[in-house]
A and B are shown apart, each in its own frame.
Chain A
């Protein structure tokens, strides 16, 4: 039997090492310990994420208060979140593959096309969206990313924030109750002082909420307590 050459032993060791590495990758995949792969020539290409790798971010996007849209190179909607669907008053299922420009007022469509072609990250444009009920809402489109021909846009409602009607109703109700209480305490100076203090506290709270939502009118316009 011929002795094994040093070259052969070296090659055998190298092959063993490569086999161990391949086995390590296989084992990690089958145990679910990886969630992305590098593909492309010489491992220098792109990173592909497994579907569940960004599940929690996707859930976040689905629930956030801003609209989110990803459009293909030809301007068709590839993905949209629930908020964007609500802005338009159109079911999500109808949005997929629809041309994004069809939901923008005619006068803004050329600007939108130009905006998508520029594809500079963080660039913004303000357009009017057509709602299904015939109304329109001003929005700001911000280009969050542009990769592989897909533009990901954040859609921010530009309408001034308003007090929710339920809050206005609650304020009216409190005002009414305090008014009645004030009348019933006609002869009670201390009670009326306490009531006045409560009224001031609530007015202060209303003003604070006004500032938070940047409402054009003030709490006083809704009526003081």
Chain B
């Protein structure tokens, strides 16, 4: 696996699917911001999709459990299910760190 953080200035587009302000959704957003600020400062955007308001949007990224993070860019698309409390797993899932 090749880490995608590298030294490039590529823009990261992340989409976080949430269920309103459920505890796990809020935790995921908080954890995601922390990871992004640490590893992708200034070159990421987070789009939060509240599936309680519009559940049909789940179909776009085949979401089954909430919260789910989807890395839209850089490609390939990656999904991470859960509140992102396991930072190591989040970094590996986003390909910001290689599997040990």
Bound pair (A, B): yes
Which residue numbers of A lie inside 8 Å of B, CB to CB? 21, 24-25, 27-29, 31, 33-38, 40, 42-47, 49, 52-54, 56
Q: Provided the pairs A24-B79, A25-B81, A47-B19 are in contact, do residues A34 and B55 lie with their beta carbons within 8 angstroms?
A: no
Interface residues on B, range: 20 to 34
A44 to B56, CA, bound (A): 4
Going nearest first, the 9 A-B pairs with the smallest beta carbon separation are A33-B82, A28-B82, A36-B19, A36-B66, A28-B81, A35-B24, A44-B59, A53-B22, A38-B58
B93 nearest in chain A by CB position: A24
B56 → chain A closest CB, angstroms: 5
Q: Are A36 and B22 in contact (CB under 8 A)?
A: yes
Which of B25, B63, B84 lies in contact with A43, CB distance below 8 A? B63
Contact, CB under 8 Å: A34 / B66: yes
- B65: nearest chain-A partner, CB-CB: A34
CB distance from B23 to the nearest CB of A (A): 6
Besides the contacts A21-B79, A33-B82, A36-B22, what 10 more A-B pairs have beta carbons closer than 8 Å? A24-B82, A27-B82, A28-B81, A33-B24, A33-B81, A33-B86, A34-B67, A36-B19, A36-B24, A36-B25
Closest to B24 in A: A35
B64 surroundings in chain A (CB, below 8 A): 25, 37-38, 43
Q: What's the minimum C-beta distance from B69 to chain A, rounded to whole angstroms? A: 11
| Contact yes or no, B51 A38, CB < 8 A | yes
Q: How far in angstroms is the closest Cβ of chain B from A53?
A: 4
Instruction: Looking at the assembled complex, report how far the CB atom of A124 sits from the nearest CB atom of chain B, in whole angstroms.
Output: 24
